[in-house]
């Protein structure tokens, strides 16, 4: 047992900071995406590999393949989305070619977050409502869909009421316990 424990701790330590995408892609790709320069000279950046995160706006399946429209979110060196920079004005398109698979729009729906390793292809003109918008288009090399974050409020402790005594509907300090036979179960702090 003494020999196994250090090995298990080492494996746990090494796997705790694993990158989201393949290690070779993380090393070859750049997390600093020069969107402004891409729009000026797209041919200069064509074929470069970038690691970028995003919040999905919509997913469509076209003749080319599955196309994700997302709002850009910067990523760190391991591909994790940066928490403090989730408000961005930049949108991008990520294309998974038809011969490489299919992205179900119900799974890759609005609000989900992704990390994409993609090669820059071109600037494609699109529309946001009635306004023309130049979308940078990336061809997906690898894609990671993040789990949905669901807020669950913490449960109330069974030993305490969910509010302090001064929020009680009864006048302090003597509640009308004779009105309700279950009062002592809803207000356990009065009879402990």
pLDDT tens readout for residues 83-132: 766 667 899 999 999 999 999 999 999 999 999 999 999 999 999 999 99
Q: What is the mean pLDDT of the segment spanning 135-160?
A: 81
pLDDT at position 83, please?
75
C-alpha separations of 117 from 30, 163, 187, 192 in Å: 9, 49, 55, 59
d(CA 101, CA 2): 47
Indicate if the pLDDT at residue 17 is higher than 90: no
Query: pTM value?
Result: 0.70
Domains along the sequence of the chain with CATH:
18-145 (2.40.50.140), 159-192 (no CATH)
Q: What is the pLDDT of residue 180?
A: 57
Cis before 173 (ω within 30): yes
Is 42 strand, coil or helix? helix
- Percent of the chain residues topping a pLDDT of 90: 51
Q: Which helix (H) or strand (E) holds 27?
A: helix 23-28
Would you state the structure tokens that stand for residue 23, as one six-digit string? 């290690």
Rg from Cα positions in the chain = 26
């Amino acid at each position: 047992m003494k020999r196994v424990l250090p090995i298990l701790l080492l494996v746990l330590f090494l796997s705790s900071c694993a990158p989201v995408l393949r290690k070779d892609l993380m090393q070859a790709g750049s997390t600093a995406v020069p969107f402004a320069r891409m729009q000026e000279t797209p041919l200069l950046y064509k074929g470069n590999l970038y690691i970028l995160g995003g919040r999905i706006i919509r997913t469509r399946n076209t003749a080319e393949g599955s196309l994700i429209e997302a709002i850009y979110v910067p990523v760190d060196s391991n591909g994790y989305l940066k928490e403090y920079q989730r408000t961005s004005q930049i949108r991008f398109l990520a294309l998974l070619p038809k011969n490489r698979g299919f992205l179900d729009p119900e799974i890759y729906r609005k609000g989900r977050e992704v990390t994409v390793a993609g090669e820059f292809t071109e600037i494609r003109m699109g529309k946001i409502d009635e306004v023309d918008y130049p979308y940078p288009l990336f061809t997906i090399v690898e894609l990671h869909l993040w789990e949905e974050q669901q807020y669950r409020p913490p449960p109330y402790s069974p030993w305490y009421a969910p509010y302090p005594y001064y929020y009680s509907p009864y006048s302090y300090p003597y509640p009308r316990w004779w009105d309700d036979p279950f009062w002592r179960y809803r207000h356990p702090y009065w009879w402990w």
